[in-house]
């Protein structure tokens, strides 16, 4: 194969930073296709053929020898895909373990519960929706649940960092950077540990050519 296995469509400051962080954590070879979101390159026909939603992140997996290609979109799906594809990186617990069940919960909780609750917090409705009509609570309840889960644990799934921390912790870190989060002691400790990870720092430092 002429190049690395993975191609990440990427823009600095976008959701694709989390996928760059993922690939750095996994020690995976990858190259970047840079996008200019202000210029709308993510709406070009060639990109829309990969992701009709016209959004980042998009990861292209060329296979171990470059003989096939698959496109994976949505950050949590990409994180689960890479974690299972590269088990030697230790980013997901083995199938059939108690830790795997917890991991699958948090991998779903991030996009299905925590992120919608964050959106409601950032963009409140004119009138509250009936609680029975939503599959997620107010963000305060999300924060309490994460705070409780971290008590006595280094990471969401025990003693080892996994992609559950990338998905949920990455969202909390994003919120903190915009002043949307007042973390309790457990989340504050947790976010400090996330920000200290060298792989995250390398991903955040990526800049397009000529920047």
- Over its length of 211 residues, how does the chain's per-residue pLDDT go in tens digits? 678 999 999 999 999 999 999 999 999 999 999 999 999 999 999 999 999 999 999 999 999 999 999 999 999 999 999 999 999 999 999 999 999 999 999 999 999 999 999 999 999 999 989 989 999 999 999 999 999 999 999 999 989 999 999 999 999 999 999 999 999 999 999 999 999 999 999 999 999 987 6
Q: How many CB atoms are located within 10 Å of the residue 75 CB?
A: 25
Q: Which of these, 50, 52, 38, 39, lies nearest to 9 by C-alpha position?
A: 50
In DSSP terms, 33 is beta-bridged to: 9
Q: What is the pLDDT of residue 2?
A: 73
**CA gap 155, 152 in Å, rounded:** 9
Sign of CA dihedral 83, 110, 202, 161: negative
- Of 3.40.30.10, 3.30.110.40, 3.10.310.70, 3.10.20.30, the CATH number of 6-90 is 3.40.30.10
Q: Domain 98-198: which topology? A: Glutathione S-transferase Yfyf (Class Pi); Chain A, domain 2 (1.20.1050)
Domain ranges in the chain? Answer: 6-90, 98-198
Q: How far is CA 199 from the centre of its chain?
A: 13
Q: What is the pLDDT of residue 210?
A: 73
CA dihedral 149, 152, 156, 160 (to 10 degrees): -170
Helix axis angle for 170-177 and 185-195, nearest 10°, is: 100
Say whether 60 sits in a helix, a strand or coil. strand
Q: Which of these, 158, 174, 161, lies nearest to 111 by C-alpha position?
A: 174
Q: What is the pLDDT of residue 131?
A: 87
Distances (CA, A) of 64 to 27, 61, 70: 14, 8, 12
């Amino acid at each position: 194969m002429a190049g690395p296995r993975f191609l990440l469509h990427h823009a600095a400051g976008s959701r694709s930073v989390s996928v760059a962080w993922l690939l750095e954590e996994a020690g995976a070879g990858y190259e970047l296709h840079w996008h200019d979101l202000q210029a709308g390159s993510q709406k070009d026909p060639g990109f829309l053929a990969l992701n009709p939603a016209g959004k980042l992140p998009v990861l292209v997996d060329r296979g171990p020898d470059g003989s096939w290609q698959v496109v994976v979109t949505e950050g949590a799906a990409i994180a689960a895909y890479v974690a299972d594809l590269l088990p030697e990186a230790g980013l997901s617990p083995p199938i059939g373990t108690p830790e795997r069940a917890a991991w699958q919960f948090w991998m779903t909780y991030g996009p299905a519960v925590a992120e919608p609750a964050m959106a409601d917090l950032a963009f409140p409705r004119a009138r509250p929706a009936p609680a029975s009509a939503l599959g997620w609570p107010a963000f305060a309840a999300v924060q309490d649940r994460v705070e409780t889960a971290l008590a006595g644990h280094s990471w969401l799934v025990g003693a080892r960092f996994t992609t559950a921390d990338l998905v949920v912790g990455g969202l909390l870190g994003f919120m903190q950077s915009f002043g949307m989060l007042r973390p309790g002691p457990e989340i504050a400790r947790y976010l400090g540990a996330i920000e200290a990870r060298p792989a995250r720092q390398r991903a955040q430092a990526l800049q397009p050519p000529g920047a």
